[in-house]
């Protein structure tokens, strides 16, 4: 039977019958050969991705700490115990020394002591006793950058003025200005050093820490902040 033998009604219903097939076929092709492989690849990537914990020195961000606002608070009985990569550390704050005193059986890096101190001020709500070197250094660099930009503008203005001056005396005047000019025009290695820092006092081994039962010793597990959470926290400082 040739197509000429069908009337318009039959052709219409035949076309109508093929319409669902014509509609679903492209969707099936996309789902089978594009979407399905993409989902499998994404699942495999997620299985192979391990959200490792943040290194100890970056744990206990100050965003989680508060300040009780009591300047007369006594921290003698407030002690924290932390398990650092270099071993156990007992720590408390000394108002007389204006620093953190600690007891440990091993040599503990400064960066780990900083993390324990952040843990201390977070637990006991005394953020005001901790010197945030990162924030202070960032503010210092910003001030230096503004000063450098100002000095560069003044230097360019001086050079333009010098070009219009002629004669021996003008050249001598320009030389004297250059010789006396000591304004900073770039950031040096000494600038990337914080002017203030926390003080840590090693009081001896752990067995020498004779803490009584009345001492408020707080031991908490190591922070489980993930690497992705840490990156999100650090992005706030940018």
Mean pLDDT on 224-235: 53
> Which are the contacts of 102, defined by CB distance < 8 A and separation ≥ 6?
89, 90, 91, 92, 108, 113, 116, 200, 201, 202, 203
- pLDDT band for 136, please (50, 70, 90 cuts): confident
Whether 174 maps to a domain, the answer reads: no
Whether 77 maps to a domain, the answer reads: yes
Q: Which tokens is 159 given? A: 């050079």
| 224 in the same domain as 116 | yes
Q: Quick one: what percent of the chain has pLDDT higher than 70?
A: 65
Closest to 219 measured CA to CA, from 101, 31, 84: 84
| 23 in the same domain as 7 | yes
| 28 in the same domain as 111 | no
Least confident segment among 41-50, 76-85, 95-104, 188-197: 41-50
Q: HSE on the CB side for 74, CA within 13 Å?
A: 4
Whether 141 maps to a domain, the answer reads: no
| 124 in the same domain as 70 | yes
| 218 in the same domain as 126 | yes
| 8 in the same domain as 65 | no
Please state the domain count of the chain: 2
Q: Hey, which bits of the chain come out as E strands?
A: 78-84, 87-94, 99-104, 200-202, 216-219
Torsion of CA 172, 174, 178, 181, to 10 degrees: 120
Residue 105 contacts residue 205 (beta carbons within 8 Å):
yes
Residue 91 contacts residue 102 (beta carbons within 8 Å):
yes
pLDDT(5) > 90:
no
**Phi, psi at 96, each rounded to 5°:** -65, -40
| Angle, CA of 178, 139 and 72, to the nearest 5° | 130
pLDDT(51) > 70:
no
| 120 in the same domain as 61 | yes
| 207 in the same domain as 118 | yes
pLDDT at residue 188, rounded to an integer: 74
Q: Higher pLDDT residue, 180 or 54?
A: 54
| 79 in the same domain as 99 | yes
Whether 151 maps to a domain, the answer reads: no
Whether 120 maps to a domain, the answer reads: yes
Whether 207 maps to a domain, the answer reads: yes
pLDDT(180) > 60:
no
Q: Give the tens place of pLDDT for each residue, 107-130.
A: 999 999 999 999 999 999 999 999
pLDDT(69) > 50:
yes
Q: HSE on the CB side for 215, CA within 13 Å?
A: 17
pLDDT(72) > 60:
yes
Q: Higher pLDDT residue, 152 or 234?
A: 152
pLDDT(238) > 60:
no
Q: Which tokens is 26 given? A: 């492209």
pLDDT at residue 217, rounded to an integer: 60
Whether 41 maps to a domain, the answer reads: yes
pLDDT(104) > 80:
yes
| 205 in the same domain as 120 | yes
- Residues facing 226 on adjacent strands: 53
Q: Which tokens is 177 given? A: 């200005």
Domain assignment of residue 44, given as a range: 3-48
Strand, helix or coil for residue 101 = strand
- Residues facing 87 on adjacent strands: 84
Whether 163 maps to a domain, the answer reads: no
Q: Give the tens place of pLDDT for each residue, 153-173.
A: 877 777 666 555 555 455 545
CA distance 238 to 220: 30
| 9 in the same domain as 122 | no
CA distance 221 to 225: 11
First to last CA, the chain: 76
| 104 in the same domain as 9 | no
């Amino acid at each position: 039977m040739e197509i000429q033998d069908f009337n318009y009604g039959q052709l219409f219903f035949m076309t109508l019958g093929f319409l669902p097939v014509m509609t679903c076929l492209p969707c099936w092709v996309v789902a089978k050969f594009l979407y399905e492989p993409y989902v499998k690849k994404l699942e495999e990537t997620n299985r192979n991705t391990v959200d490792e914990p943040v290194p100890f020195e970056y744990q206990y961000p100050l965003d989680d700490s508060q300040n009780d606002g009591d300047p007369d608070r006594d921290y003698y009985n407030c002690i924290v115990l932390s398990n650092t990569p270099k071993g156990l550390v007992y720590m408390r704050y000394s108002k007389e020394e204006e620093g953190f005193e600690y007891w440990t059986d091993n040599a503990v890096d400064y960066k780990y002591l900083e993390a324990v101190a952040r843990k201390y001020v977070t637990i006991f709500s005394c953020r005001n006793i901790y010197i945030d070197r990162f924030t202070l250094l960032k503010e210092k660099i910003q001030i230096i950058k503004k000063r450098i930009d100002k000095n560069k503008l003044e230097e360019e203005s001086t050079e333009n003025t010098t070009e219009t001056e002629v004669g021996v005396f003008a050249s001598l005047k320009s030389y004297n200005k250059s010789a006396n000019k000591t304004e900073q025009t770039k950031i040096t290695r000494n600038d990337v050093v914080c002017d203030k820092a926390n003080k840590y006092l090693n009081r001896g081994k752990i067995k020498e820490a004779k803490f009584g039962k009345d001492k408020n010793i707080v031991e908490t597990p190591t922070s489980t902040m993930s690497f992705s959470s840490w990156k999100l926290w650090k992005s706030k400082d940018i």
